[in-house]
Amino acid sequence: MNLNDVRLFLRVVETNSFTAAAETLGIQKSTISRRIGQLEDDLGVRLLQRTTRKLKLTDEGQELFERCRPLIDELEQLPDLVSAHHSEPQGRLRITMPPEMGIFLMNDVISDFMRTYPKIQLELELSTRVVDLIEEGIDLALRVGHLDDSSLIARKIASITGGLYASPEYIKTHGTPNSPGELSKHSCLGRLSNSLNWAFDNWNNGAPVTINARLKANNLMFMRDMAVQGLGIARLPRAFCRGEVERGDLIQVLGEYHLPGTEVHALYPSRRHLSPKVRLFIDHLLSMLEDHPWMSDMQPASRPR
């Protein structure tokens, strides 16, 4: 199997057109058609169903695309990766992430990364806004929770375990809920970006309960402080409340019911030509997460290869 023919096949699938693939590659449409025909002969299968108006992948074509896309990507990245091993990484790296992540999780990671790679200049934006990576020239974004569909490449970094917390004052005044179904009778603190329905993995077959969100905010630190002030039951990352629980400022409620984990993803504009600095940072992040104090409340993803 000729890898150059595989590259042509991938480009045709990505552009959904022989003509568009030929224009982007600067070669004749007939050449692409002939080469993909040769690839099909080499494999002994039909990869594309061609009509005058559209292309459709066969099952074999779909499998070849899904298996070969990451392999070809890694082959194309090898020159940069090999060069990176022979020179000290340097240059600017621009990253965006939520404020809480930067303050409570990434401070150790960032400082250790900068000590390890002293020639890299880091520009870090701690913001809740969804930054347009391509338009604003951002190399990497770390985002928590649901991801909107986009052309960005997303790599799972970890999953954060959450819990429900309230102050002793609130519990004394309003009582402790005995099941998730009783949350609708309590004052709850919700996030602006999240649904008012809280689901539990081991309750009511995962069906959600609608909460009474007396207060909604877009900052976990503020929500935690409001829970300490006795304003209601807040859904927060377990590690985020560890100090408050140890001091007795917060009490976990309904701890036997498991909230779904919240995923953390690294996003970057393109898998192809991934900057060695971005790859270094992701590798460094995953390495440090293995020993991070939060790890009892997080499950890290596997490292990028």
What pLDDT digit, counting tens, does each position of 130-177 carry? 877 877 888 899 988 777 756 678 888 888 888 999 999 999 999 999
How does pLDDT run across 220-240, given as a tens digit for each residue? 889 999 999 999 999 998 888
Give the pLDDT score at 174: 95
Paired residues of 275 in beta bridges: none
Position 197 pLDDT exceeds 60: yes
Which amino acid, 229? Q
How does pLDDT run across 270-298, given as a tens digit for each residue? 655 567 888 889 988 888 877 665 554 55
Strand ranges, E, within 74-229: 91-97, 120-126, 140-144, 153-160, 162-166, 187-191, 197-198, 209-210, 212-217
Residue 48 DSSP label: E
- CA pair distance 266, 140, nearest whole angstrom: 7
Task: Say if pTM beats, i.e. exceeds, 0.75.
Answer: no
Task: Write phi, then psi, for 6 (nearest 5 degrees).
Answer: -65, -40
| Residue % of the chain over a pLDDT of 90 | 25
| CA 106 to chain CA centroid, nearest Å | 15
- CA pair distance 23, 21, nearest whole angstrom: 5
Buried b (16+ CB within 10 A) or exposed e, 196-210: eebbbeebeeeeebe
* Contact residues for 294 (Cβ-Cβ < 8 A; gap 6+): 104, 105, 160, 239
Give the pLDDT score at 212: 84
Residue with tokens 């045709």: 12
Position 186 pLDDT exceeds 50: yes
Strand ranges, E, within 16-151: 48-50, 55-57, 91-97, 120-126, 140-144
Give the pLDDT score at 178: 93
